[in-house]
Amino acid sequence: MKRLLFISLLIALSVACRSEDASVDLFDAYSEIGTAIDFKAKQCGNQPGYPLIIPGKPPEYGVRLCSLLILNAECPFTDYPLFCIEMYADECDFCDVPGLDP
């Protein structure tokens, strides 16, 4: 039994540590996150007044997590979940405007 558990753990670890590019096509990312935004907007009756800008080649885990956080957000839906905004902060070339600090 211990041997089976050890082998299962090794398999799970090797799958989790794979080094392939796990990014999503930009169109697919906008489609998935946009669908989540539309669903939540219909459910709550409102949505944030600003767009969520996604950089090219977003990570798959980030797109999935952002979509799930949007779907699980409470009404009123006036802001995107913080993860959805911060996830792309490092990728954003125009976000570092001199003189504007958070």
How does the average pLDDT of the chain come out, rounded? 79
Amino acid identity for residue 92 in this structure = C
Taking CA 57 as the corner, what is the angle to CA 55 and CA 59, rounded to the nearest 5 degrees? 100
How confident is the model over 9-38, as a mean pLDDT? 77
* Domain presence at residue 59: yes
Range with the lowest mean pLDDT among 17-21, 22-26, 72-76?
A: 17-21
Residue 86: which pLDDT band, with cuts at 50, 70 and 90? Answer: confident
* Domain presence at residue 50: yes
Bridge partners, 59 (sequence order): 23
* Domain presence at residue 6: no
Cα distance between residue 35 and residue 39, in whole Å? 6
8-state DSSP, 50: S
* Domain presence at residue 94: no
* Number of separate domains in the chain: 1
Indicate whether 15 pLDDT > 60. Answer: no
Residue-range definition of the domain harbouring residue 81: 20-86
* Domain presence at residue 79: yes
pLDDT (0 to 100) of residue 57 = 83
- State pLDDT tens for residues 50-67: 999 887 888 888 999 999
Indicate whether 99 pLDDT > 90. Answer: no
pLDDT (0 to 100) of residue 13 = 54
Asked whether 83 and 66 are in contact (CB, 8 A), the reply is yes
